[in-house]
Structure 1
Amino acid sequence: MAEPEHECPFCGIKSTEAFVIEVHVEDEHAEGSTTHSSLQDAGLAEQLSNQHAYEDPPVPTSDDDAQWTKCTRPGCGEYVLIQDIDEHLGVHASMEDSDDAGKTQSSPASKSTAARQAKVKASQTARPNDRKKKSGPTLLEFFSGNSYHGRHPPPQRTKEALPLGRLGRRELGPHAFEKQMPEHVRRRLQNDAQPHQVNKLDRNGKLRAETIVDNETAGLIPHLATLCAKDEDVLVTYLCHPSTKHINKLRCDGNFCGYWNIQMVLSFLQATGALPDLRQMPNILQIQDTIEQAWSNGILSHGRRETGGIRGTRKWIGTSEATAYFTQIGISVEASAFEDQEHELGAVALLDHVEAYFLSGTEKAESSGTSHITQLAPIYFQRLGHSMTIVGLQRNKDGSRELLLFDPSFETSGAMQTLLAGKRSRAQLENLLKPYRRSDQSLARWEEFEIVVPRGGA
């Protein structure tokens, strides 16, 4: 029997956890909430009211198009799959807890997370072949130019309203038919990730100039290695090259997660000399230009037909566009897809593959306790509705496994920034690590995954 869903009376967000909705209402819809007042700042209300002027006329859509909602956490605004909202809000809660040393492990958010994981574990007792089998094309079919690149084809009644091969909102997001993004979004993408200098105190108390980009965080990998080694439940942790940066989204209307993940992989390629001519990180608009150029050069060119073109829009991208981009700039990549089979979950196959990948790099790894920092590249990681960057894998003493991810949806927490500054943090280990961990139980909710691994120059 399905569990009853609780719904926010103000914005319609749903959850099987009543507590999640209660906290959501208190945080986002209380009188004087910044969620309501922020729309008055900087003329955003007027900008939002004019947003539809930049989009194509609406087309018939299927019920599947309404499977995601917009997170109303202040400063977030991410479009999140309904089935993923509990986990998304849980990461928000853990980051807030890590920035508040007074919180304890018995906090309601932690209880909610534990309950959610127990339900996922229970769902895994069903045989994989009892799960609904998807009928979409494989990644190999996509790379031959004959598929929707791992994204399900539109339902039949939507197909009739769209040109042959054209994807809709289910695959490309709420702005799937946008002709041009609003100017205020374009300006943020152009200006808000520019390098600039700040003065910082070094460990000797002296001021020094440092060039930073506001949405980039360097140096996280060694700290994750140290933290994982302190966790008594962890058997072994493998991590990618320490130069890989966490790059989070800019505060503008649009997810753009695929682009942020391309940038994270670029941070590795840039630091390791694979792209000697890349001196500054390309912004999203420049990445879009390169993908369009790849299509014009015949590289996975069916992507243009399926998306209707992405230049200057907020359409979602995936492994197809990431592969086209890296190929265009001279980086060879290896793409793989994992999906539920009769006797194995796609999540298990994914974890096996990623673990084998990191094991291949242990010979040159820098080890400290149970953690091993390899020289391997991070992995572009895609599942339905969202992409992240795999930076490691953790095997626990009870046999369970967790991916270590850089999620562009979330900024680096204040507690982690404290550690990066060389100071001590009073935050709990669990809350420090939770934004980067995705357990095998949580991954089992998804039927299909895709990854793209850079292998150096073409």
Structure 2
Amino acid sequence: MAEDKAMACPFCGWTNPGGEYEMLLHLETYHAEGEDASFRQEQGSVSENPGSGENISYVECPIDGCEEILPLQELDYHLELHSEESGGCTTKELDPVTPAEPDPHSGPSRAHRAAQRHRQSDPGSEVNERQGKQAKEARLGKAITIWKRLLKIPVFTSEGVHMRAPLQNEQLPNKHSPHGKRLGKAHLGKYAHESRMPEWLVSLLKREGQVTSQGVVSVLAVLLEQSPSTKHAYLCHPRVQHVSKLKREGGFCGYRNIQMLASYIIEVKSKGHEHFCGTIPSIFQIQEWIETAWDLGINSQARLETGGIRGTRKYIGTPEAVAVFRLLNIPCEPHGIKFSEPGKSEAHLMEYVENYFELGVQDPTQRVHRTNLPPIYFQHLGHSLTIIGFEKLKNGTKQLLVFDPSFHDSSYIVRLIGQTSFKHPAPDLALRAYRRGNDYLKRYRSFELVKLVPP
């Protein structure tokens, strides 16, 4: 099929209908290892430590509809998460047995319930929907396999994740320069200089809003209980929603993480909840709050550095998240971590997060602690996530548990929402998309967090 053959180079955007062979020839000719790629020449590179000579090349994810811009060294891990998202790491044999026992503290999203009603009214639609999902997942899985082969990325097996060498001298760039200098693509993303996002994207965001899943935290709690490798774990409030991106929306991760924290504020009705009127704020509403905060002198130098973000796709980060919460009188505490010594930043990060969740423990005899604490906004170079928990394995390894706005919950996780008891034959495999440990964190030297103050 033509749509299967059409491929776009992640380095320069070149597209051809010739399929895998011509793309491989293109990569070897124009993007051979050690040579300057045209993407790098066009987009520029980021010096993580000025004067060190260590540069990071950025590429666009080649998976259709993703449009995420990320460091080349992270492309393999990013593709693995796409595989998790599509259900590529599991099979029908791994599907758990799920007794139909509703969970009073969690439930499927409104869209999920609407889909259930539609299937009940039209029994044949369930078969068609399942076949459509299987075909879509098969196409995505095929695309991931092809790109891994072209880019010489090992395919994931059940034995573990491909290990990558850590970047040297890496540190989180200063989001805002001391003199209000206008920032570029290194800090604001691919669309750093646009004055307005395209109308089709405005319509998409207004029409679709965001993808949300409520009840995933409770599913993860059961999986952690069943995990043979978990010594103990902590989870945030069970009603925190996983908010993820729409297809083709690009890089709105900072906004999506603010939305996840807002889902907690709305649920527990903590200070400032009245500003949300019971609804997760849109990207456009968050942009208005940021601009208003700047008008009032809250982190106002950011307007000079960004040129303004209203109606654009420019990246936002920790300073903008803090500006929103302070504007709305929502108590929050930003925290920065930065050490040049390898391993020290991630060790400090793990200690900080573990100490935070320990404050929410109600029964110290439990193995998995289901707290009522808010999640944490988490920023590192080029991306932000929401920390929803912490885990210590029996071998002593520590891991963050996160919601990544770049990826949706897989279908085999969504099917478990609302179930209080099920037996999963491979819980560690199901948890993999939510775990971020040393293999992921060791490439960074700086982290930024925003912690909401619990009511």
Aligned position for 1:176: 192
- Aligned ranges 1:320-335 → 2 under 5 Å: 320-335=319-334
Alignment correspondent of 2:162: 116
Q: Distance in 1 between matches of 2:330 and 2:253?
A: 20
1:409 to 401, 406, 410: 406
CA distance in 2 between partners of 1:310 and 1:282 (Å): 16
Q: What percent identity do the matched residue pairs reach?
A: 34
Q: TM-score by structure 1 length?
A: 0.70
Change in 2 beyond 3 A, CA 1:230/1:390 = same
Partner of 1:276, secondary structure, is helix
TM-score (norm 2): 0.71
> For residues 423 and 248 of structure 2, what CA distance do their matches in structure 1 show?
30
Report the counterpart of residue 266 of structure 1 in structure 2. 262
Structure 1 residue 61, shift from structure 2 partner: 6.4
Could you tell me which of 66, 80, 83 is aligned with 1:90?
80
How far the C-alpha of 1:443 sits from its partner, in A, is: 0.6
- Which of 77, 87, 92 is the matching residue for 2:67? 77
Query: Alpha carbons of 1:13 and 1:292: their partners in 2 closer, same or farther (altered >3 Å)?
Result: same
Residue 259 of structure 1 aligns to a residue whose secondary structure is helix
Q: Establish whether residue 100 from structure 1 lines up as the match of residue 91 from structure 2.
A: yes
For 2:170 and 2:69, the matched residues in 1 are separated by 26
- Name 1:132's counterpart in structure 2: 169
Offset of residue 74 of structure 1: 3.3
Q: Is the 8 A contact 1:101 1:427 kept in 2?
A: no
Distance 1:385 1:343 in 2: 19
What is the deviation of 1:187?
Answer: 0.9
Partner Cα separation in structure 1 for residue 254 and residue 159 of structure 2: 26
CA deviations on 1:19-55 (whole Å, 9 max, x unpaired) are xxxxxx9xx9559xxxxxxxxxxxxxxxxxxxxxxxx
- 3-state DSSP class of the match of 2:160? helix
Residues 403, 64 of structure 1: alpha-carbon distance in 2 compared, 3 angstrom cutoff: same
Secondary structure in structure 1 of the residue aligned to 2:433: helix
Counterpart residue identity of residue 132, structure 1: N
> Given that residues 331 and 456 in structure 1 are in contact (C-alpha distance below 8 angstroms), is that contact kept between their aligned partners in structure 2?
no
- Cα offset for 1:254? 1.9
Q: C-alpha distance in 2, partners of 1:356/1:280?
A: 31
Deviation at 1:63, TM superposition (A): 2.8
Pick one of 34, 40, 58 that aligns with 1:68: 58
Aligned-pair distance for 1:392?
0.3
Q: Relative to structure 1, is the Cα distance of residues 427 and 191 closer, same or farther in structure 2, using a 3 angstrom cutoff? A: farther
Letter in 1 for 2:434: Y
1:133 is displaced (CA, Å) by 6.8
Distance 1:60 1:417, change over 3 A: closer
Q: Deviations over 1:292-336 (max 9, x none)?
A: 000001111111111110000000000000000111111021011
Once residues 400 and 371 of structure 2 are traced to their aligned partners in structure 1, the CA distance between those partners, rounded to angstroms, is 15
What's the Cα RMSD here?
3.3
> What does residue range 58-457 of structure 1 map to in structure 2 within 5 Å?
62-64=44-46, 67-95=57-85, 96-98=87-89, 100-101=91-92, 109-111=155-157, 114=160, 116-117=162-163, 119-120=164-165, 132=169, 134=171, 148-149=175-176, 165-193=181-209, 215-274=211-270, 275-278=273-276, 279-342=278-341, 345-363=344-362, 370-420=367-417, 422=419, 428-455=426-453
Deviations 1:230-277 (A, max 9, x none): 111111010111111000111234210000000000000000011135
Tell me the SS of whatever aligns to 2:183.
Answer: coil
For residues 456 and 298 of structure 1, the distance between their equivalents in structure 2, rounded to whole angstroms, comes to 26
Residues 424/225 of structure 1: CA separation in 2 closer, same or farther (3 Å cut): closer
In structure 1, C-alpha distance between the alignment counterparts of 2:94 and 2:61, rounded to whole Å: 23
Contact 2:243 2:259 in 1 (8 A): yes
Q: Secondary structure at the match of 1:110?
A: coil
Aligned length: 357
